[in-house]
Amino acid sequence: MKLFGTDGVRGKAGKFLTAEMAMKVAMAAGVYLKSQAVTNKILVGKDTRRSGYMIENAIVSGLTAVGYDVVQVGPMPTPAIAFITENMRCDAGIMISASHNSFEDNGIKLFDGHGNKFPADVEAEIESIYYDEERLLDAQLTGRKIGKAKRIDDVIGRYIIQLKNSFPVEMTLQGMRIVLDTANGAAYKVGPTVLEELGAEVIVLHNKPDGFNINEQCGALHTKELCENVVKYRADLGIALDGDADRVVIVDENGEVVDGDQLLGSLGAYLHEQSLLKGDGIVATVMSNAALEDYLQTKGLQLYRSDVGDKNVLELMKEKGINFGGEQSGHIIMHDFAKTGDGLVAALQVLSLIIMKKKKASEVLRAFELYPQMLVNVNVSTKKPLQDIAGLEELLASIETCDMRHLIRYSGTENKLRLLLECRDAKMMRIKMDELVGFFKKALNE
Task: Give me the active site residues, please.
Answer: 99
Q: Count Cβ neighbours within 10 Å for each residue of 144-161 and write b for 16 or more, e otherwise.
A: eeebebeeeeebbeebbe
Q: Which of 347, 341, 373, 344 is nearest to 361 (CA)?
A: 347
In contact, 47 and 108? CB cutoff 8 Å: no
Q: Rounded to whole angstroms, how far apart are CA atoms 167 and 173? A: 10
Q: Count Cβ neighbours within 10 Å for each residue of 355-366 and write b for 16 or more, e otherwise.
A: beeeeebeebbb
Q: Tell me which DSSP letter residue 369 carries.
A: P
HEC sequence for 426-439: HHHHHHHHHHHHHH
Beta strands of 118-167 (E only): which ranges?
Answer: 149-151
Cα distances (Å, whole numbers) of residue 394 to 286, 378, 409: 22, 20, 17
- Burial category of 5 from C-beta neighbours within 10 Å (exposed 0-12, middle 13-18, buried 19 and up): middle
Q: Rounded to whole angstroms, how far apart are CA atoms 80 and 166? A: 13
Q: Rounded to whole angstroms, how far apart are CA atoms 139 and 135? A: 6
- Who's near 45: CB < 8 A, 6+ residues apart? 72, 73, 74, 75, 76, 78, 80, 81, 84, 93, 94, 95, 96, 186
Q: Rounded to whole angstroms, how far apart are CA atoms 324 and 331? A: 11
- Who's near 323: CB < 8 A, 6+ residues apart? 276, 277, 278, 279, 317, 334, 335, 336
Q: Rounded to whole angstroms, how far apart are CA atoms 387 and 169? A: 53
Angle at 4 between CA 184 and CA 83, to 5 degrees: 55
Q: How many Cα neighbours within 13 Å face the side chain of 189? A: 15
For the CA atoms of the chain, what is the radius of gyration? 22
